[in-house]
Amino acid sequence: MTETTNARSSLGVAIKRPHRADARRNFDALLAAARDAFAEHGSGASLEDIARRAGVGIGTLYRNFPTRQDLFDAVYFGEIEELCQAADEVADLPPWEAFETWLQRFVGYAATKRAIYEELNRDSDLFRTAREAMYEAGQPLFDQAQNAGDIRLDTNFDDVLRMVSGLTAAGFVDDAQRTRVLNLSLDGLHPR
């Protein structure tokens, strides 16, 4: 299989994706299935289940991700890529709407990271680069909203990310409750 490296330049982390359209679809389906399986079952999720969810055979999974660690890394760095891309996609919205929309995407990233956190090499240069890319993507959205008067001046971007990460780690009855709690906390960011 011929592969190419596609990476968001600000990320500096390469995710190898197949050239052929059908192989790329399988690759993307495996990433989506792995993200869901890890969110539901943690890092011990069955690889056979992931392949089944993606609609491919286990051989296709191993061809794309020879080790479980390769799959963890691809899922994590794929989430970072999508988070950075989301910042670009919302940049033209009004400042608060852009930041809030990006934070909603950040909630998905936080859930994936939490599910595979123990499997990530948090001391690696790649992990640090990915974290920096995420901050570089979201910080301008925060700054624009704060400069527009939509976010109180006595907070910073890191405070908000930690607050949202903490909230999303809690157990909720359903997604609707998680959204309500997140919205309550975001209301607290507005100036009094």
Mean pLDDT of the chain: 86
- Residue 174's pLDDT is 82
Structure confidence at residue 145 as a pLDDT band (50, 70, 90): very high
pLDDT tens string 73-109 = 888 888 888 899 999 999 999 999 999 999 989 987 8
Q: Residue 75's Cα: distance from chain center in Å? A: 8
Residue 65 burial by CB count (10 A; 0-12/13-18/19+): exposed, middle or buried? buried
Does residue 107 contact residue 163 with C-beta atoms inside 8 Å?
Answer: no
Winning range, highest mean pLDDT, from 27-31, 116-120, 123-127, 162-166? 27-31
Residue 8 has pLDDT above 70, yes or no: no
Please give the DSSP secondary-structure letter assigned to residue 44.
Answer: G
Does residue 77 contact residue 46 with C-beta atoms inside 8 Å?
Answer: no
On the CB side of 141, CA atoms within 13 Å amount to 30
